[in-house]
Amino acid sequence: MSELVINDLHASIDTDAGDKEILRGVTLSVESGRTHAVMGPNGSGKSTLAYVIAGHPKYRVTSGSITLDGEDVLAMSVDERARAGLFLAMQYPVEVPGVSVSNFLRTSVTAVKGEAPKLRTWVKEMKEAMADLQMDPAFAERSVNEGFSGGEKKRHEILQLALLRPKFAILDETDSGLDVDALRIVAEGVNRYRESSGAGTLLITHYTRILRYITPDVVHVFVDGRIVESGGADLAEVLETEGYERFITAAQPA
Amino acid sequence: MTIAPPHDLAPRIASFDADSFGMPTGRELEWRFAPLEVMRPFFEPIDGAGTVTAVSTSELVVNSAIATASSTWVPTDRTAAVARAGARSAVTVNVPRDANLVDPIVIRLDAGAEFAYQHVEINAGAFSTAKIVIEAHTGADVSGAIVVNVADGADLTLLIVVDGPKTHRLIAHIPATIGRDARFTACTVTLGGRAVRLLPSVHYAGPGGRAELLGVFLAEGEQYLEQRIFVEHEQPHCSSNVIYKGALSGAHAHTVWIGDVLVRREAIGTETYEMNRNLLLSDGPRADSVPNLELETGDVVSAGHASATGRFDDEQLFYLQSRGIPADLARQLVVRGFFADVVGRLGLPEWRDDVMQRISARLGMADEGASDD
Ligand SMILES: Nc1ncnc2c1ncn2[C@@H]1O[C@H](COP(=O)(O)OP(=O)(O)O)[C@@H](O)[C@H]1O
Ligand SMILES: [Mg+2]
C-alpha cells in the first residue's frame, strides 16, 4: 500500500510581469488502487499541478509539501521521482527527434527498474504492450512523438505507463483530442494497468467523457488553483449537466 | 529561394606560389572568423616540418615521393600553396576502373612530427564503387589537401574523422571533381583539434554528377571549428546536397559554417540544397552559419538553403528525465538524436555506431574537462 500526499501546495511561475501564483493551496491524498479525477475549467492549473508533482523546473513551489510514502518528493530530481514510482502522462508529449521509441522505452525501463531488461523478454513485452494498444510494430522505429498524431501521442504515453509500471499515474488530459475509438483503446489501457498493478491514479480532465470508461472513486472540482469541492462519481454527473459555472462563481474572492 | 547579392563566390586566385596570395589580415571574407594568431604557423613555410604518411592494410594506399602526385588541383589560398610546396611525399589511393570494393579502405594519417604538411590524392576509377575512411588524429599541427577525383560513373563514399586532443591545428582543403553520372558522398566528423578549418569543394566535370556533403561537429572548451563549403555547378543536371550539424558547449567554443553554392549559367536542371543546424548546449558558445546561394540561371529543378541555431530544448530533457532517465544520459540521448539523421545517411553502417560512440564519449567527458585524450 502506497500513498501520495499533497498538502497545502502553493506554486508559482516566473512571467515577464513578475511572479504569478497558479497553485493556491492544493490538498489531496491518493492511495494505491484508488482513482481520483481532478476536473476543472481550462486555465485552472490542472497541468501545473501535474507538472509540479513531476518536478518541471519551470514552476517554483513556494509552500506546502508532496510526499510519497513519507518521502519528500519535492527534494527529488525529476528522474528520481520517476524512479520512486511516479509517472506523468503529459497533455502535450514532447518530440525528441532522432531518438527511436524502442531506444527511448528501453532506456527508460532500464533507468526505472535499475537494470536492463533481458533482450528477448523485453522485445516480447514491448510488442505485447504495443499490440494491447493497437499500435503498429513499425511505430517502435519512429522518433519519439515526432510527427505523431494526437491519438498516437496519447497511446505512446499509455504504452509507457504499461512498461514503466509506476506506483502512481498522473494522467493529464489523456482523453483530449481523441476520437471515440482511440479514447476507448486508451481508456482500456489505463484500466488494464489499474487492475493489474493496483496503482493509484490521478485522472486530470476537462470533460466527463473519459469517466464513462474509467470510473473514479473520488471526483475533485479544481478551480483557480485549488480544489473547491470533492465527492463521489456522481459529482462528475453534476458537472456534466451544470458545467463549472457554479464553482467558478463560488471560487471568486468577494 | 533566396538569391545572394551578385558577387562571384568562386575563389579568384589559384596558384602554387604562396606569394600570389596576400598574408591574411582578418579582413578577407575567407579569414573573417578564424583566429589568425592560432593559424599563423600555416601562413609561412616551416623549416623541418614533417609530411603526413598513411597507415593502412589496403595495398591500394601508397606513400610515394611528392613528384608522383598527379592531381591537377591548384591551391586556392595561401595555406594550401605553402603546404603543397612543403609536402615531401604524397598519399595516393587509386581505386581501379570497374572495381567494386565491398569493404571500406581504412586509412590512418600519421603526421610523424609536431608539425606536418599533407598531400593526399584519392582517385576513384571509372565505374568503380568504393568506401574510404580517413582517420585524422589531432595530435599534431597539419596543413594540406585531400584531393578527390571521382571518374565517370564511379560511386565514392568518403568519411573523414577528425578526432583526438583539443590542442593542435588542422587545415584541410578537400577539393572533389565529380565525373559524368558519378556520385560522391563525403562526411566529415570533426571532434578534435584546437582550431580546425575544413574546406570541402565540389566541381562537376560532366553532367549527371551527384554530390552529398555531410558533416557533424562538436565544439567544446576553446575549440574553433570551421567548415567552409564551396559547390560550383558548372555542368547541367547535377545535384548537390549539403547537410551539416554542429553542437557547441562551453563559454568559448566557436564554430563557423559557410556554405557557398554557385550555379553557373550553363548548369541547367541543377538540384541543390544546403542546410546547417547548430545546437547550443550551454550559454556562451558562438555558432556562425552563413549559407550563400548564387544562381546565374533560373532554369533549375530546385535550389534551397536553410540555417538555424537553437538552444538545447529543456522540454526534451524534462520529458526524458520524467521517465527516470538521469539528466546526463538524457542530454546524451538528445544530442545523439540531433545528429542521428546526418550520421544515418552515411553509407557506412558499421561506422555509424563508431561515430555515435565518439560523440557520446565526448559528451560524457565534457563536464570533467578530461576530453584531451
Ligand atoms: N509559461 C507560462 N507563463 C505564464 N502563465 C502560464 C504559463 N504556463 C501556464 N500559465 C498560466 O497558468 C494557468 C494554469 O495553466 P494550466 O496549469 O496549464 O491550466 P489547465 O491545465 O488547467 O488548463 C493559466 O492561467 C496559464 O495561462
Ligand atoms: Mg492542462
* Count of domains for chain A: 1
User: Chain B closest CA to A95's CA: distance in Å?
Assistant: 7
Is B316–A95 a contact, with Cβ atoms under 8 angstroms apart?
A: yes
Cβ atoms of B172 and B199 closer than 8 Å: yes
User: Pairing state of beta strands A226-231 and A218-223?
Assistant: antiparallel
- Index of the ligand 1 atom closest to the CA of residue A173: 21
The CATH number of residue A130's host domain is: 3.40.50.300
Is B327–A54 a contact, with Cβ atoms under 8 angstroms apart?
A: no
Q: For residue B277, which of B226, B217, B198, B221 has the smallest C-alpha distance?
A: B217
Q: What is the pLDDT of residue A240?
A: 86
User: Chain A closest CA to B322's CA: distance in Å?
Assistant: 5
Look up cell 489523456; give the residue.
Answer: A174
Q: What is the pLDDT of residue B8?
A: 67
Please tell me the distance from the alpha carbon of residue B286 to that of residue B185, in angstroms, as a whole number.
28
Q: Residue A41 CA: which ligand is closest?
A: 1
User: Chain A closest CA to B358's CA: distance in Å?
Assistant: 17
Q: What is the pLDDT of residue B7?
A: 56
Q: What's the A183 CA to ligand 1 centre distance in angstroms? A: 25
Nearest CA in chain B to A163: B323
What DSSP designation does B41 have?
G
Please tell me the distance from the alpha carbon of residue B224 to that of residue B196, in angstroms, as a whole number.
6
Q: Whose CA is nearest to atom 18 of ligand 1?
A: A47
Q: What is the pLDDT of residue B360?
A: 86
Q: Report yes or no for ipTM above 0.85.
A: yes
Is A108–B325 a contact, with Cβ atoms under 8 angstroms apart?
A: yes
SS3 for B221-234 is CCCEEEEEEEEEEC
Mutation for A interface: B317, B321, B345, most A CBs within 10 A: B321
- Index of the ligand 1 atom closest to the CA of residue A222: 22
**What's the domain range around A180?**
3-251
- Index of the ligand 1 atom closest to the CA of residue A172: 21
Cβ atoms of A253 and A223 closer than 8 Å: no
Residue A98 in contact with partner chain B when CB distance is under 8 A: yes
- Measured CA to CA in angstroms, residue A24 lies from A48, A55, A56, A90, A223 at distances of 11, 17, 17, 22, 10
Q: What's the A95 CA to ligand 1 centre distance in angstroms? A: 20
Cβ atoms of A27 and A7 closer than 8 Å: yes
- Residue in A54, A97, A98 closest to B322 by CB: A54
Please tell me the distance from the alpha carbon of residue B67 to that of residue B141, in angstroms, as a whole number.
23
Dihedral angle computed from the Cα positions of residues A240, A244, A246 and A247, in that order, rounded to the nearest 10 degrees:
120
Q: Is the CB of A6 within 6 Å of ligand 1?
A: no
- Could you count the other beta carbons within 10 Å of the beta carbon of residue A209? 14
Q: Is the CB of A44 within 6 Å of ligand 1?
A: yes
Residues 133-172, chain A, touching B (beta carbon < 8 A) = 143-144, 160, 164
- Residue in B319, B321, B341 closest to A93 by CB: B319
Q: Residue A44 CA: which ligand is closest?
A: 1
Instruction: Return the beta strands (E) in chain A as ranges.
Output: 3-15, 18-31, 35-39, 59-68, 71-72, 86-89, 96-100, 143-144, 168-172, 200-205, 218-223, 226-231
Mutation for B interface: A47, A76, A79, most B CBs within 10 A: A79
Q: Is the CB of A48 within 6 Å of ligand 1?
A: yes
**Boundaries of every domain in chain B:** 2-311, 313-373
pLDDT mean over A223-252? 88
Q: Is the pTM of this model over 0.90?
A: no
Cβ atoms of B297 and B272 closer than 8 Å: no
Show pLDDT as tens, one digit a residue, over chain B (373 residues): 444 444 567 767 899 999 999 999 999 989 999 999 999 999 999 999 999 999 999 999 999 999 999 888 999 999 999 999 999 999 999 999 999 999 999 999 999 999 999 999 999 999 999 999 999 999 999 999 999 999 999 999 999 999 999 999 999 999 999 999 999 999 999 999 999 999 999 999 999 999 999 999 999 999 999 999 999 999 999 999 999 999 999 889 999 999 999 999 999 999 999 999 999 999 899 999 999 999 999 999 999 999 999 999 999 999 999 999 999 999 999 999 999 999 999 889 989 999 999 998 888 744 333 333 3
Q: What percent of chain A is predicted at pLDDT more than 70?
A: 98
Q: Is the CB of A41 within 6 Å of ligand 1?
A: no
